[in-house]
Structure 1
């Protein structure tokens, strides 16, 4: 019994309390009541494609709509080959054909929430990786109608996480509040990066562990993350994401 009490206390302090606090902050803030009243326009974070001749790759994320925005972000990928007159944005959504191409402005707000640029890559390296990104998008195994589950996945973050794993040269992972990034089909329990420096263990996205240079140390439960960032010292809390020390 004492061990069960300690386990319950750990779950309460590491997962339940931060998640409820983040939901409380979200509930107290103002946000659109529906997708119809939300602002989906460009946030003006990226230069106009016609003003940037060199190739570029961006990975972006913004808080989701409604109360669930207290726990999760929506992520997407943007590419622009050299000389292209417009960006190409890839999202996975929960309606219609789930993989959307240019369904929104490249740096568009998501449910009125301004996105964050997680990665900005230009020049020769972007040019080299764009074909790999496009191939990973086409190879995504959950791209048909009905291949979307908000929890534990495969959702929008599961899609972007798949591309990042398929193109490890991008060198990033989605933030801890990207619920669904750890989704794997049941049976794909262990994932190791090509350089062997990061390992993930996943029980279908319901629970898991991760450790390495990209993740630090993470304990995952129900898509939420509690952990420590090593390379950039900080703590990871459900809903709040990474908080630098």
Structure 2
């Protein structure tokens, strides 16, 4: 599933694709289960003739902001992708949404596993009221992070994956941040010290920024892997220290990296470096 760096990379490329200040003149849906709160006809009427003013992000959600306080929220889920804009309408395999703008270009949404969701929203603050703080914003201080983590008896891996606690983190970047902070993913939140929390906050920001700088993480070679709008694979997989490195030596201590199921997710860690 695309996490914060992947979604932010997609957002930036969509901004540079030239759709801002263009009006929607057509909307086609070929798999209505993707539409969270309405039919194809409802989405078409809602968006038709509205000007796109901005494309923003909250957690792992893309927000297409239109005039008249209208918003289209897209959650890519497992395999959602926006492909290169087209100048002619052409339905290809796994393409489920086509949005035409008044420059006669189509914005195309592709989703092999069909888990993505499109949602019409007018009150963004209300819609995202339960999402946690953004970890790359200036306001993400030690105090904010400490308050968000709390002192629960659940494990730290599960806590960091919770979008109500911190926005945008997923399995890849949580494993990488915990390795960098030298904290075992099974550790109870209440047993993570103030000093460790400070290091963990910095580690979260570092692995996310590295992911952004390297245009995201693409694992494997199949068409379901993350690709940017321009069709480029991410490069961050070359920098991963533990994720998908089970049975290989740790770069730091040469201990074999382990993979266990924690928080219902395949979790990677070094049993020597992390405690």
Shorter-normalised TM range:
under 0.3
TM-score, normalised to structure 1's length? 0.25
